[in-house]
Amino acid sequence: MSKAQSLFLPARFLLLVVFLAITGCGWFSKNDPKGAADTFLGLLGKGNTSAAYDSASFAFQAQQSVQGFEVVVKELGLLDFKSISWTRSVIKNNEAKLDVEILTKADAKLAMEISLIKESGSWKIYTLRTQSAGTEVPVENRFTLVGKSAAFNQVFKQSLPADRQIRELVRETLIKFNAAIQKKNFDDFYQYISFAWQTQLSQKRLERAFQGFIDTGIDIGAPQAADLIFNEPPIINNDGLLVVTGYYKMPPYHVVFSLMYTYELPKWKLYGIDVNCLK
């Protein structure tokens, strides 16, 4: 089995990541989502916000800068908290949702829903939802810029595109991504991604994220729309992002993808990408 670097980008990507970073061409390893969440919260508890941010998924990072992340963390009282108590755990395939109650330094109780995804073979933070005024369950995502501006709000008015349109969109994205890898130049691909993602991600960082693909010379080809197999029906998630996951065969690889799109007039634009090549 050959192995290359991979990533999920709004992939932070988002973000993010991802949905969020691109992962390498290799098999997913098995690890514990609760352990990953414990590590993330442990870093926050020690005041190491930068390390916590870096440990999250690319999709998560793509939805806000590290500076914005630090501001929200401090406002919620997640630094130097006293204790955490896990109340629920649901794991399904490469996604997990955990409920936790955090006792802050000010003796306030904060209920939070943590969702994680598999990225680069490891469980990583995807979203953090907290209670908002008048709610008993965590529904508010303060760790994202999506839906918080007039431009982003357009996405919530969009209905799910037809299957044919989604397939053509995914095919276009994968072809452009592969072209960037083959040219070893991401100028065109960076212009292709959404403006929302560009505000969170520099072109240099985008290129560094895909350096493993470039160094290994991976060629994922140009799939036909009909060759794309979706693991689950595409959805528009709670953040208004179009999420599509699936795979296709491009010998000698089995190419697995997870893509996120945000709506920017007049069309859906890439906001996250995760690609794995299994041989």
Per the structure, the count of domains in the chain is: 1
What string of DSSP letters covers 113-173? EEEEEEETTEEEEEEEEE--TT-SS--B--S--TTSSHHHHGGGGPPPPPHHHHHHHHHHH
Quote the pLDDT of residue 145.
56
> Is 203 part of any domain?
yes
Peptide linkage before 252 cis (omega within 30 of 0): yes
CB 243 within 8 A of CB 259: yes
> Is 83 part of any domain?
no
> Is 139 part of any domain?
no
The first and second tokens of residue 92, run together, are 């399904």
> Is 86 part of any domain?
no
Peptide linkage before 266 cis (omega within 30 of 0): yes
> Is 127 part of any domain?
no
> Is 90 part of any domain?
no
Task: From first to last of the 279 residues of the chain, give the pLDDT tens digit.
Answer: 333 333 444 333 333 333 333 333 433 334 689 999 999 999 998 999 999 998 998 778 877 778 888 888 888 888 888 899 998 888 887 788 999 999 988 888 888 899 998 876 789 998 888 876 555 566 677 776 554 444 444 445 578 999 999 999 999 999 999 999 999 999 999 999 988 888 778 888 888 888 888 888 889 999 999 999 998 899 988 778 899 999 999 888 889 999 999 988 788 999 988 888 887
Quote the pLDDT of residue 98.
92
Percentages helix, strand, coil for the chain (3-state, rounded to 5) are 35, 35, 35
> Is 268 part of any domain?
yes
d(CA 71, CA 149): 18
Enter the pTM of the model: 0.53
Quote the pLDDT of residue 132.
62
CB 1 within 8 A of CB 279: yes
Domain of residue 219, residue span: 1-39+47-71+147-279
Q: β-strands 253-264, 267-278: how paired?
A: antiparallel
> Is 98 part of any domain?
no
Quote the pLDDT of residue 146.
53
The first and second tokens of residue 19, run together, are 């949905």
